[in-house]
Amino acid sequence: MRKHSTDMETQNTQAVDGQDPSPPPPAAENQVSEPSGENAPGLEELLQQAERKAEENRDAWLRAKAEVENTRRRAQDDISKATKFAVERFAGELLPVKDSLEAALAVEAPSVESLKSGTELTLKQLAAAFEKSGLREIHPLNEKFNPNFHQAISAVESDQESNTVVSVLQKGYLLADRVLRPALVVVAKAKT
């Protein structure tokens, strides 16, 4: 009887403490919940959608990669053509000059006067071709010496200011703003 009363006291104490005197339910560790029939198609459908999206992204990536490669190849072709035909316009401008020179040589008995006038006209054609192509002369007579555009061959004593170009031995040329050939010059130096 004593044991029975002790069990009852334990139950009463547990009830007072707010604990349920009934034994705990069996552990749910080993129980695996199986997906219900409604959830399974949803997961498979999501997986298929993700696979389709991945394939679309892969396809878009391959197309973009091919487009970049095509653009690179076209750019290389353009550069190659630009290099190959860069002189085309200038060469076209020089053809009339060559034609004029050949015509002058074809004359049987040219007079000095006709040769001189023909040469002057040919020189004008050549100057026009240079101008159309952006080729400009550097003729710095009486200008201050500039080592960026002039090459001094010698220095002579002169009444002009020191480092002034007193003679141009050979004209220089600029292509756009780049020196193609510096002018060969003689510069003044102070008298001693």
pTM: 0.56
Dihedral through CA 20, CA 26, CA 32, CA 34, nearest 10?
Answer: -70
Class of residue 185 by CB neighbours under 10 A (exposed 0-12, middle 13-18, buried 19+)? buried
Q: How far apart are CA 100 and CA 171, in angstroms?
A: 23
Across the chain, which has 192 residues, the per-10-residue mean pLDDT values are 51 51 52 51 88 96 96 94 85 92 88 90 93 92 94 92 94 93 94 79
Q: Which residues pair with 137 in a beta bridge?
A: 173
Check if the beta carbon of residue 101 is closer than 8 Å to that of residue 126.
no
Is there a single domain that holds both residue 129 and residue 171? Answer: no
Same domain? For 80 and 115 the reply is: yes
CATH of the domain at 148: 2.30.22.10
Please state the domain count of the chain.
2
pLDDT of 30 reads 47
pLDDT of 61 reads: 96
8-state DSSP, 59: H
Are residue 140 and residue 87 in the same domain, yes or no? no
Domain around 140: 135-192
Residue 3 lies in a domain: no
Residues 115 and 140 in one domain: no
pLDDT at 83: 83
Residue ending a domain, among 133, 152, 183, is: 133
The verdict on 146 and 175 lying in the same domain is yes
